[in-house]
Structures are given as C-alpha cells and as structure tokens.
Chain A
Amino acid sequence: DAGVTQSPTHLIKTRGQHVTLRCSPISGHKSVSWYQQVLGQGPQFIFQYYEKEERGRGNFPDRFSARQFPNYSSELNVNALLLGDSALYLCASSSGTAGEKLFFGSGTQLSVL
C-alpha cells in the first residue's frame, strides 16, 4: 500500500509569490494534517482537515490556507511568501481526528528567495 504522498518534493519561490502544496493520504484515511518544520526544529502544527472540514488550526497567519477534497487529498496554500516561510512542509494522515497515530509523508522542501 502507498504511504502518504506529497508533491512537489522541492520548490523554489521568490518573496511575494504564492505556492500550492499537495498531499494524498493513505488509502482509507479521512484526516489530513499539515505541519511546518524549520531546519533544526520539530514540526509545528498548521491545520487539520477531516471529512473536508477544518478541525484545527495552529498559530499561523491567514496567508496560510488549506482545503480537503472529496477523495481526502489536500492542498496547502501560502500567499505572499516571506523568507521565513522557507521550511519543510509535512503532511500527515490518520484515520480519525484526535489521539490517532499520524503517518507522515516525506514533505515538500520550500525555499523562498
């Protein structure tokens, strides 16, 4: 079975641009969470979606948004990119909404120049 898949694997953008990151969860999983991991730190929670509804949001500005599609795949959008948005963006899927084991993808490495 395929694990969590993310695309693209690497991305280079300039300040002020917009970016869309994509994630496909493990088959049968209805929950997708997004995390940001800055170099040398642990991942930080951005969003969780379950059954196409936002179930949680971390301490990130409104420039960050996400959505989940009927097939449970998800997109993370970031507008007006800043240098500080450079990070590894991780997607994780789980079967439920809370207290569930998360399965992570390999992430999208975003560099903002």
Chain B
Amino acid sequence: GESVGLHLPTLSVQEGDNSIINCAYSNSASDYFIWYKQESGKGPQFIIDIRSNMDKRQGQRVTVLLNKTVKHLSLQIAATQPGDSAVYFCAETSPYSSASKIIFGSGTRLSIRP
C-alpha cells in the first residue's frame, strides 16, 4: 500500500543551527512531493515542493532533497529560528491519483532551543 513515513517523530535544534527532517516514502510511482509546516491551531502551510524529475530544489532558507533510488526525501532549514517551531509533514501524490489525493506522513515536531 501507499505510505509516507518519517524517521524521527521529534527533533530539537539549537537556534541558529541547520535542521534536517527526513522522510521515507514507499510508492515508487509518486512523482510530486511536498513539505508542509503546521503550527498549533492552524492548517498545514506549504513550504516547498519537488517533482520526481529533480533531485534538489531550494527556497528561502529551505532546501528539499529527493533520492528516488532509496525513496527518501529530506527538508533542510538553514539558520533555524524560533518561528520555525512546528510540526513538519512530508506528503506525496502520484499521477495515477485522479484527484488531489495527497498522502501525508505522521509528522516531525521541530522544537528550537534558545
């Protein structure tokens, strides 16, 4: 079946350090991957996405890496700030999905130490 999982449920990082959140996916047919950030009391907020024809994509302070060989996805956050504290979800979808059926992982909670 389809599943998107995460290696670590929680991650504690020193303010100013880089954060790396990892994710494994099982559906080799998935071709679109997204990272979402969810703060308490809010809905998931889009951070960055990547399609399967790429292995790296950069945004503002964030980078997503995709390794299709081992079906692994990671989110790197540079110079982590207190405002980065949230739960981060990786998500996937495939071209065989007839709808915007995005499959979410269970999430990693990122906490920032001052």
Chain A residues with CB under 8 Å of chain B are 4, 31, 33, 40-45, 48, 50, 55-58, 90, 92, 94, 96-107
A-chain residues with CB within 8 Å of residue B41 when the two chains form the complex: 106
CB distance from B51 to the nearest CB of A (A): 8
Instruction: Report the bound CA distance from A98 to B106 in whole Å.
Output: 22
Chain B residues with CB under 8 Å of chain A are 4, 31-32, 34, 36, 41-46, 49, 89, 91, 93, 95, 97-107
Instruction: Report the bound CA distance from A55 to B102 in whole Å.
Output: 13
If A90-B44, A102-B102, A103-B46 touch, does A42 touch B107 (CB 8 Å cutoff)?
yes
Instruction: Report the bound CA distance from A99 to B33 in whole Å.
Output: 9
Instruction: Report the bound CA distance from A90 to B98 in whole Å.
Output: 20
Which single member of B34, B46, B95, B99 contacts A56 (CB below 8 Å)? B99
If A90-B44, A101-B49, A105-B43 touch, does A45 touch B107 (CB 8 Å cutoff)?
no
Asked whether A42 lies within 8 Å of B43 as measured between CB atoms, the reply is no
A-chain residues with CB within 8 Å of residue B95 when the two chains form the complex: 98-99
B-chain residues with CB within 8 Å of residue A44 when the two chains form the complex: 104
Asked whether B106 lies within 8 Å of A97 as measured between CB atoms, the reply is no
Asked whether A98 lies within 8 Å of B105 as measured between CB atoms, the reply is no
A-chain residues with CB within 8 Å of residue B105 when the two chains form the complex: 42
Instruction: Report the bound CA distance from A98 to B100 in whole Å.
Output: 4
Which single member of B42, B89, B98, B100 contacts A94 (CB below 8 Å)? B100
Asked whether B49 lies within 8 Å of A97 as measured between CB atoms, the reply is no
With CB as the reference atom, state the residue of chain B lying closest to A4.
B43
Instruction: Report the bound CA distance from A107 to B4 in whole Å.
Output: 22
With CB as the reference atom, state the residue of chain A lying closest to B41.
A106
If A42-B91, A43-B44, A90-B44 touch, does A102 touch B106 (CB 8 Å cutoff)?
no
CB distance from B68 to the nearest CB of A (A): 17
